[in-house]
Amino acid sequence: MWSNLQEAELDKLLHDDAISKSRNSLLTFTKTTLDAFEVQPFHRVYYKMLDEFAKGKIKRLIVSMPPQHGKTEGSTRRLSAYLLGRNPDIKIGVASYNFYFASKLNRDVQRIITTPEYSKIFPNSTLSNNNVVTKLGSYLRNGNEFEIVNAIGGLKSVGRGGALTGNKIDVMLMDDLYKDYMEANSPIVRESVWDWYTTVVDSRLHNNSQQLIVFTRWHEEDLIGRLEAKGKVKTVSTFEEIYQPLKFDEWLKINFEAIKDSEPTELDPRENGEPLWPNRHSKESLLASMEMDVEKFNCLYQGNPESAEGLLYSTFKTYNDLPEVKMVKNYTDTADTGQDKLCSIVYALPLAKADDHLYILDVLYTDEPMEVTEPAVIDLFNKNEVHLANIESNNGGRGFARVIQNGVKGHVDWFHQGNNKEARLFSNSATVNRRIVMPADWFLRWPKFYSDVVKTKKLFKANKFDDAPDTLTGIVEMENIPEIFTF
C-alpha cells in the first residue's frame, strides 16, 4: 500500500512530466490546460497535424470538420496559446465570421494564457495587467488585441472583412469565415470573403508566414472551394504525405466526415459508416439530422458541399408506398476497370398503363472483385424476384451474365454497349430525372450510390465515378417508351 505522501509525490511527478511534455506537444498541452478534454482517435490525428503546423513543418493547412467536434478548441484557442508560449515574438492574426465572435476567441486565448498551468508550462509568455492602451511603452491588452510582455509577439482578432493594416502576420488562423448556410449561399458574401482574403490577408503575409483555414463547409465555392478550384489544395491521407515538399502556394487538406463515407486511410482508418465521435454524436442521431436535409448534412457534417449549378440531375422523385407492380426487372453494369464499380439496379414497372415511372427497389453498388459480386448479384436477383435482367457484356460481362443465369430463376439477357457514355448521359438526363423514382430513404439505404448520382456533374471529366448514372441511363434506354408531351 502506498502512503498518502507517496501518492502525493507520484501525482507531483506525473504533473511535472505533463508540464514538461506540454511544451512540445499540443495534445498534451491541451489535456494539461483543459480538464474536460475528451480525446478521441481523430483528435490525435487532428492535433498531430496542428502540432506539425505549430513547429513550422506545415505552412498552409486546411481542415474541415463537423460542428461540435472540437475544431475551434484545437485550431484557434489552444493552438494560439501554444504558439505564443513556444515563441513569444510570433505575431498571430485570428479571423472569424464577425467582429464579436473573433473578439470572444481573443478573450478565450487570454484566459488560457493567464491560468496557473500555462504559467508553469510557458513562464516567459505573460500578459499585461492593463486592460486598455495607456502611455507609450505599455503592453497592449484589450478584447481585440494583446501583446506578450517583454516580447514583440501577440494576437490580433478581426471579423471577416476587418482591417489588418500595419500588422505583419506570421501566422494567420481563419476559423468559420461563414456564419451559416444563408451567408455561404450568398454570391455577394462569398465574393467578399475571397476579395478580403486576397487583398487584406494576403497583403499582411511574408515569405515565412503560415496559414490555417478551418471551418465547416456550406458551399462548394467557399474559400476552401475557390482554392481547390485553382488546383492549390492537396488532400492528404497518410502522415508521409504531410512531409512531402509543396509549392510555395500549395495547401494540405484533411476532411473529417461525421459518418465515414470514403475508403479507410492512415489518417482516418474508420470503416465505411462509422461515426467520428460516437459517444457524443451517435450514428442514429447523425442519420436523423441527415434525413431532415441531406444536402445541408453533406455540407455541414460531411465536408462535401455541392452547388446545384453544374449538376447533371435535379432532385429525384421519391416514393413511400410502391404502386401495384406489373414486372420486376434489373439492369447491371459490370466493372470495366479496376477503378470502376459494379452497379446492379432492381426496378419495377407499375401495373397502371398511365404510369410510366420506373420505381427503384434495390441497388448493389460495389468495387469488390468478381468472386464477391457474382454471388451478391445472384442474391439480389432472388431476393427481389427479378423476372428479367439486362447485363452489359463489355469486358467480361457475358461470362458474368452466364454465371448469374445459372443461379437465378428469371431470364438474363446480355448485350454490348458501344455508344459514347458522355453523350448517353447528357441526352438522357432529363428522362432519367422524369421517369426514375427512388425510395424516400434511398440516401440511407445506398449512401455511396446516392452520393455518386446526385453529385454527377455536367462537366463529364469532373466526375470521379460515373457507374451509377450510367446504369440509370441504361434503364431508361432499355425502357424506351415514347415520351408524352403536353402542350
Is-above-0.85 flag for pTM?
no
Give dist(CA 232, CA 474) in Å, integer.
Answer: 37
Using an 8 Å Cβ cutoff, are 467 and 335 in contact?
yes
The tens digit of pLDDT for each residue in 117-126 reads 999 999 999 9
Q: How confident is the model at residue 134 (pLDDT cuts 50, 70, 90)?
A: very low
| Nearest Cα residue to 386 out of 431, 341, 344 | 344
Q: What does the block give as the cell for 318?
A: 421519391
Classify the phi-psi angles of 231: left when phi > 0, otherwise alpha if psi is within -120 to 50, otherwise beta: left
169-175 sheet: strands from edge to edge: 145-147, 154-159, 91-96, 169-175, 205-214, 60-64, 251-255, 233-235
The tens digit of pLDDT for each residue in 93-121 reads 999 999 999 999 999 999 999 999 999 99
Q: How confident is the model at residue 483 (pLDDT cuts 50, 70, 90)?
A: very low
Residue 484 has what pLDDT? Answer: 40
Give dist(CA 298, CA 277) in Å, integer.
Answer: 17
The angle at the Cα of 251, spanning 247 to 256, to the nearest 5 degrees, equals 150
| Nearest Cα residue to 276 out of 440, 63, 76, 90 | 63
User: What beta strand segments (E) does 226-265 contain?
Assistant: 233-235, 251-255
Q: How far is CA 286 from CA 217, 249, 270, 295, in A?
A: 16, 36, 16, 13
Q: What does the block give as the cell for 52?
A: 506539425
Residue 157 has what pLDDT? Answer: 94
Q: How confident is the model at residue 487 (pLDDT cuts 50, 70, 90)?
A: very low
Mean pLDDT in residue range 402-424: 86
The tens digit of pLDDT for each residue in 63-103 reads 999 999 999 999 999 999 999 999 999 999 999 999 999 99
Q: What does the block give as the cell for 33?
A: 490546460
Give dist(CA 376, CA 360) in Å, integer.
Answer: 18
Mean pLDDT in residue range 402-430: 87
Half-sphere exposure of 76 (CA within 13 A, CB side): 27
Give the residue, 395 or 320, on which the prediction is more confident: 320
Mean pLDDT in residue range 196-224: 91
The tens digit of pLDDT for each residue in 141-193 reads 998 999 999 999 999 999 998 888 777 899 999 999 998 888 888 889 999 99
Q: How confident is the model at residue 7 (pLDDT cuts 50, 70, 90)?
A: low
Contacts 24+ apart (CB under 8 A), 402-406: 403/374, 403/378, 404/332, 404/374, 404/377, 404/378
Pairing verdict, β 342-350 and 325-333: antiparallel
Residue 135 has what pLDDT? Answer: 42
The tens digit of pLDDT for each residue in 284-311 reads 999 888 887 777 888 889 888 876 667 8
Residue-wise DSSP of 34-74: -TT----HHHHHHHHHHHHHHTTS-SEEEEE--TTSSHHII
Q: How confident is the model at residue 198 (pLDDT cuts 50, 70, 90)?
A: very high
Beta bridge mates, 63 = 214, 254
| Nearest Cα residue to 241 out of 6, 57, 471 | 57
Average pLDDT of every residue of the chain: 88
Mean pLDDT in residue range 319-335: 93
Beta bridge mates, 366 = 342
Start-to-end CA distance of the chain, whole Å, equals 92
Residue 238 has what pLDDT? Answer: 93
Cβ–Cβ contacts within 10 Å for residue 105, how many?
Answer: 21
Beta bridge mates, 349 = 327
Beta bridge mates, 439 = 319
Q: Please give the domain boundaries of the chain with CATH numbers for all domains.
A: 20-300 (3.40.50), 317-478 (3.30.420.240)
Residue 5 has what pLDDT? Answer: 67
pLDDT above 70 for 463: yes
Q: How confident is the model at residue 369 (pLDDT cuts 50, 70, 90)?
A: confident
The tens digit of pLDDT for each residue in 10-35 reads 666 667 788 889 999 999 999 999 99
The tens digit of pLDDT for each residue in 253-290 reads 999 999 998 889 999 999 988 999 999 999 999 988 88
Mean pLDDT in residue range 406-422: 85
Q: Which residues touch 286 (CB under 8 Å, ≥6 apart)?
A: 258, 259, 275, 297, 301
Measured in degrees and rounded to the nearest 5, phi and psi for residue 141 equal -160, 110
pLDDT above 70 for 137: no
| Nearest Cα residue to 101 out of 125, 66, 127, 77 | 77
Q: What does the block give as the cell for 484?
A: 408524352
Residue 395 has what pLDDT? Answer: 64
